[in-house]
Amino acid sequence: MSEAEQPPQRRAALSGRVLGVLALVVALVAVVVALTGRGGEPQSAPTTTPRPSSTATTPTVPEVFTAVAPSVVTIRTADGALGSGVVVSDDGTVLTANHVVADGSAVTVTFADGTTSAASVTSSDAAQDIAHVAPTTFPEVLVPATLGGDVTVGADVVAIGNPLGLTYSVSTGVVSGLDRTSGNLKGLIQFDASVNPGSSGGPLLDAQGNVIGIVVAIADPGKDDAFAGIGFAVPIGGAVGGGGQAPQL
């Protein structure tokens, strides 16, 4: 019996099977297209590149103080000058402001552990208001400070010193400006951490505890040696200067 002569029921069954096969083929083609992306190579799952995580952390101010305070000293002269300084090398050399030791009288250095030593000025630069002092007696453990760091306007700073004889005082602020002039001192870092007479020669630190400057002066509009919110430091790398005429601490 030919297909034309087949009963209507059998022809309908065959047609149903053909349509089912065609529907399955169409579905498979759709799946392949979806997986390959317009018929190309199979697409891999989208990936993301994770951002590198920063392991560097900024120490807190108490941590900076704990780390750097052993490097800070009190400096006095026989004529009554008071200032601060910071140990900068393994041989005990102390960096300070020149005007603290410029009176020519005997110099005494007191370390953080209480060790007191006579000292001599080994070099001085009045144009930069910087001096190096060499003590004759040292603590059992010397802790030189780390020198240098990035100096950026707005960056956090910490000052450690002996304002008004209050030893090992700490204050915080920011870098307010760069390349400032105060009196005949030039190229100074301007900052707003509180400093007063006795602070001069102490370290100005960045947020990591690196010495970025030596405190040398304050703005003194009232001519009363009172802090007016503006302090100055000689950059640790040196600055071009022309004398020590700024209001000195």
pLDDT, position 222: 73
pTM comes to 0.74
pLDDT, position 149: 86
φ, ψ of residue 69 to 5 degrees: the values are: -55, -40
pLDDT digits (tens, 9 = 90+) for 39-48: 445 444 444 4
Strand stretches in 155-230, DSSP E: 156-161, 169-182, 185-191, 203-206, 211-218
Q: Evaluate if residue 10 carries a pLDDT over 80.
A: no
**Which residues have C-beta within 8 Å of that of residue 56, sequence separation ≥ 6?**
none
Quick one: pLDDT band at residue 23, thresholds 50, 70, 90? Answer: low
φ, ψ of residue 4 to 5 degrees: the values are: -65, -25
Rounded distance between C-alpha atoms, residue 28 and residue 36, angstroms? 12
pLDDT, position 46: 47
Q: Evaluate if residue 179 carries a pLDDT over 60.
A: yes
| CA 19 vs CA 14, 32, 57, 125: distances in Å | 9, 20, 69, 100
pLDDT digits (tens, 9 = 90+) for 180-205: 999 899 999 999 999 999 999 999 99
Q: Evaluate if residue 52 carries a pLDDT over 90.
A: no
156-235 belongs to CATH 2.40.10.10: yes
Query: Choosing from 117, 169, 182, 200, which is the catalytic residue?
Result: 200
| CA 152 vs CA 63, 156, 171: distances in Å | 21, 9, 18
**Which residues have C-beta within 8 Å of that of residue 130, sequence separation ≥ 6?**
95, 96, 97, 98, 124, 214, 234, 238
CB 107 within 8 A of CB 74: no
Q: What is the mean pLDDT of residues 99-107?
A: 96
Query: Choosing from 99, 117, 169, 199, which is the catalytic residue?
Result: 99
Nearest C-alpha neighbor of 214 from the set 192, 231, 194, 197:
231
Query: Choosing from 129, 192, 206, 220, which is the catalytic residue?
Result: 129
Q: Evaluate if residue 223 carries a pLDDT over 70.
A: yes
pLDDT, position 16: 53
Task: Reduce the DSSP state of residue 188 to 3 states and report it.
Answer: strand
CB 171 within 8 A of CB 193: yes
Q: Which two tokens stand for residue 205?
A: 């630190």
Residue 68: alpha-carbon gap to chain centroid: 14
Query: Is residue 200 flagged as an active site residue?
Result: yes
Q: What is the mean pLDDT of residues 47-70?
A: 77
Q: What is the mean pLDDT of residues 144-170?
A: 95
Q: Which CATH number fits domain 61-135: 3.40.50.720, 3.30.470.10, 2.40.10.10, 2.40.160.40?
A: 2.40.10.10
Please indicate whether the domains covering 61-135 and 156-235 agree at the CATH topology level: yes
Q: Evaluate if residue 236 carries a pLDDT over 50.
A: yes
Mean pLDDT of the chain: 82
Q: Where are the domains of the chain?
A: 8-36, 61-135, 156-235
Nearest C-alpha neighbor of 87 from the set 153, 36, 142:
142
Rounded distance between C-alpha atoms, residue 214 and residue 211, angstroms? 8
